[in-house]
Amino acid sequence: MKASRRAKRMSRHHARTKKGAALNMVSLMDIFTILVFFLLISSSSVKDLPNAKQIQLPESTAEQLPKETVVIMVSDRDIVVQGRKVADVQSVMKSADGEIKALKEELVRLAGRELSQAPQVDGKPVIR
């Protein structure tokens, strides 16, 4: 079927005026730069203790930031030290002696690491 002159003219007109939408990347990059700096500044001032879903922490109204300490979490399934699983509660409950050997080994390892990183005076670690 042959197109009329009017149809041809309209198709040429639409082809000339049809352009894709342009996106100004400079303003978009400015917004993301500001957003990145805002998130960096606001996230560095927040200190949180690690929290597992199984553990219900009590409400606290502390006014001082917590010191860096060793965090031991005992849930209904696992014993976790500093975010690292050291033992299952089931196996600990089945053991005959009252000592948790895996927990003791992990605490000794962490204590040795803390002493090696502590400031030293005359070759001896200074504990604050």
The predicted model gives 68-84 an average pLDDT of 88
pLDDT digits (tens, 9 = 90+) for 25-35: 888 899 999 99
Q: How far apart are CA 7 and CA 13, in angstroms?
A: 10
Q: How far apart are CA 27 and CA 35, in angstroms?
A: 12
User: How many Cβ atoms are within 10 Å of 100's Cβ, its own excluded?
Assistant: 18
Give percent above pLDDT 70 in the chain. Answer: 77
The pLDDT confidence band at residue 17, using thresholds 50, 70 and 90, is confident
pLDDT digits (tens, 9 = 90+) for 52-69: 777 777 787 777 876 778
Burial pattern 26-50, b for ≥16 Cβ within 10 A else e, equals: eeeeeeeeeeeeeeeeeeeeeeeee
Residue 128 reports pLDDT greater than 60: no
Q: Which of 1-15, 43-57, 65-79, 104-118 has the lowest mean pLDDT?
A: 43-57
